[in-house]
Amino acid sequence: AITIYVEQDGERIPLEAPTDMGLSVMEVLKANEFDVQALCGGMAICATCHVEVLESGGLPEMSDDEAYMLESLPHATESSRLSCQLRVKPELDGLVVRIMPEA
């Protein structure tokens, strides 16, 4: 398992994320009872799993679908990602995200 962090109120909360279950970061956030609606269930079509990546070693490339969704969000930043599109893998160890408000 790797550790990912959620930054909230100036604090970094560590979460343990198994790398062998095919989970997405969104699923790890939900499993830890963070307020992520993820209405579309990980299809990259709702953007209610929007996070800002504050630190990472290496992230996967964005798909066109993800890039398109993020472009439509007025409050997205250059570090925005859809957490449902980030698969938990060893290279994500130490990832720090902030959960973004819904559009």
When CB distances to ligand FES are compared, the closest residue is 84
Nearer to ligand FES, 11 or 43 (CB): 43
Q: How far is the CB of 48 from ligand FES (least distance, A)?
A: 6
DSSP 8-state class, residue 47: -
Nearer to ligand FES, 21 or 103 (CB): 103
Dist. CA 22–CA 7, nearest whole Å: 23
Which chain residues interact with ligand FES by CB under 6 A?
Answer: 26, 38-40, 42-49, 82, 84
Distance of CA 93 to CAs 16, 37, 103, Å?
A: 10, 24, 28
Dist. CA 33–CA 76, nearest whole Å: 23
Nearer to ligand FES, 11 or 56 (CB): 56
Note the maximum CA span of the chain.
Answer: 35
Contact (Cβ atoms closer than 8 angstroms) between residue 42 and residue 69 = no
Nearer to ligand FES, 10 or 65 (CB): 65
Q: How far is the CB of 91 from ligand FES (least distance, A)?
A: 20
